[in-house]
Chain A
Amino acid sequence: MGNLLTIENMSIRHTGRLLVSGVSLSVTAGERVGLIGESGSGKSLTALAAIGLLPEGMTAEGSVLLADRQVIGAADRDVVGLRGTAVATIFQEPLTALDPLMRIGDQIAEVLRRRARRDGRSVSRADVATEVSALMARVALPDPVRLARAYPHEMSGGQRQRAAIAMALACRPSLLIADEPTTALDVTTQAEVLRLLETLVREENMGLLFISHDLPVVGTAVDRVLVLRAGELVEEGPVAEVFGRPRHPYTVGLVEAARAFDQAIGAAL
């Protein structure tokens, strides 16, 4: 089976300024890949370019193959069909991904109906309701029947992110892109959501592109990691290698800083 996502020598420009330069990466089924970078490194732009959603005025060059279809230069209507099937994305702030005026169950149901239309199937109300409940249970949302009637503002941050994950799963994507999915969450909630993602990716055999500034979080979420700095990849390899024996001075600095925080609490374990 081929790659779910293959980015080759991709650059992103904004009014002539080079924001991302010559990035290459790939994700296969069942593979968990991390993209690490600090603010301004271009990690989120890389994710947006991968799904053909770069902001106005930004242009990408090089090659982005999503399910073997070229995204760069493609017409939007050709890429729309890939979002959902080939790839689903969850972002840092689930509130921005959710419609504030719509009950959470209805939002998940909309994705399910859209998928059915796309597949040319007709589904009954009852079928959709059953599948909404099943998805909400899948992401460990408590009391799915009651919570399906809740609006986003009535849910906690962790519950909202679980709901966003449920919507992503509703598309049955082969690749999940998660851009700082736990950054807005409390540490105890973060640990739960990370465990959930790990389980889902493994059981659905999805590919995962996990984007974060947080080294320990990435270290627990993925097997292979790439380090992005000011738009350029400086290092990549298995987590154990990159975090255990970093080669690039920038990675060395990041790992040392992360270790300093770890060591301060290290006595606890």
Chain B
Amino acid sequence: MSLVDLTAVSFAYGRGRTVLDGIDLRIEAGRNLGIVGESGSGKTTMLRLLLGLARPSSGQVSFRGAPLDPGDRSFMRGFRRAVQAVFQDPYSSLDPRQKIADIIAEPLRSLKIATDVEAAVTEALASVDLPLDAASRYPHEFSGGQRQRIAIARAIVSQPELVLADEVVSALDLTTRIRIVELLKALSAKTTLVLVSHDIGFVALLCQDLVILEKGRIVEQGAARDILSAPQHPYTQRLLESTPRLPEFA
């Protein structure tokens, strides 16, 4: 089943530069998708379109086959409940004045989801391996990796079908990063993930499908295994060759 589709989507700011050009993309339930691109590739704009935070200049974004309609409030509420996001910077994405329980429960309140809030928050905290007493504390009491867990807990509290993650490990240390990867891997049993990142290694650990973006166009898309083992487009080849790896030692 397709969750979100982009059909012939282009995006430009005013009459200015085209940021995305002729994008066709299907996000299917149960298949994690990695969107890989460098700065200026249009990956952040793509994420904004997928979240319904920006509207395409031409083409269509649809959710479960129906076009996104920002005017239809109950449709958009269903969309927001099903599609949640986690952002790069765990220091700016959490409100410093709110307790963790309130931060995590925010989607339940804003989407008016009738549920046992405390039970939902408890479950979300457990899913991201944070202790229960975190609920009554504030963001500044947590490390970067823990904050990213809190942001993930907030994203999954409404039990979404799709979680979009924008460079979620880029600001984290390597050892923290690998633990967040493990957490996301566990979560993807229940939720489909779309990972937007410049880091092809991170994306490759979690995604079945890949999209390679360069200067607003998709230059290659398909099964991650195929793209990684036999990249077709020169840009994909260059990206893979440029990615530093630990030297092998006999």
Contacts and interface: CB of A to CB of B under 8 A. Distances in A.
B246 A265 contact: no
B229 A260 contact: no
B246 A188 contact: no
A38 B173 contact: yes
Contact of B229 (A214, A243, A254, A267): A267
A268 B174 contact: no
Interface stretch (A25-33, A78-86, A172-180, A216-224): A216-224
Interface residues of A, number: 38
A253 B178 CA distance: 10
B243 A219 contact: no
Contacts of B229: 267-268
A215 B242 contact: no
Contacts of B136: none
B174 A191 contact: no
Contacts of A257: 174-175, 177-178
Given A257-B177, A268-B240, A216 B231 contact: no
B239 interface: yes
A267 B228 contact: yes
B221 to A, nearest CB: 16
B175 A239 contact: no
Contacts of A255: 246
A174 B198 CA distance: 35
12 contacts: A213-B174, A220-B247, A239-B247, A240-B249, A243-B247, A245-B249, A260-B178, A261-B178, A264-B201, A265-B243, A267-B229, A268-B229
Contacts of A99: none
B222 to A, nearest CB: 14
B205 A261 contact: yes
A47 B144 CA distance: 24
A187 B242 contact: yes
A103 B228 CA distance: 42
Contacts of A253: 175
**Could you say which of B144, B175, B181, B245 has the most chain A C-beta atoms within 10 Å of its C-beta?**
B245
Nearest to A255: B246
A191 B202 CA distance: 18
Best-surrounded residue of A217, A267, A268 (most CB of chain B within 10 A): A268
B193 to A, nearest CB: 15
Contacts of B39: 157, 186
A258 B246 contact: yes
Interface string B226-250: 0011010000001111111111010
Interface of A: 38-39, 157, 186-191, 194, 213-217, 219-220, 239-240, 243-245, 253-262, 264-269
B246 A259 contact: yes
A39 B174 CA distance: 10
Contacts of A240: 247, 249
What is the size category of the interface that chain B forms with chain A?
20 to 34
A269 B243 CA distance: 11
Q: What DSSP secondary structure best describes chain A's contact surface? A: helix
Nearest to A187: B242
Interface string B154-166: 0000000000000
A220 to B, nearest CB: 5
B175 A262 contact: no
A40 to B, nearest CB: 9
B117 interface: no
Contact of B241 (A191, A264, A267): A191
B49 interface: no
B244 A214 contact: yes
A89 B49 CA distance: 41
Contacts of A194: 244
A106 B250 CA distance: 49
B240 A219 contact: no
A139 to B, nearest CB: 18
A265 B177 contact: no
B184 to A, nearest CB: 13
With a 10 A CB-CB cut-off, give which of B202, B229, B242 has the most chain A CB atoms.
Answer: B242
B178 A187 contact: no
A38 B173 CA distance: 6
B200 interface: yes
Contact of B246 (A189, A216, A269): A216
Given A187-B38, A268-B229, A268-B231, A215 B198 contact: no
Contacts of B243: 187, 216, 265
B48 interface: no
Contacts of A190: 242, 244
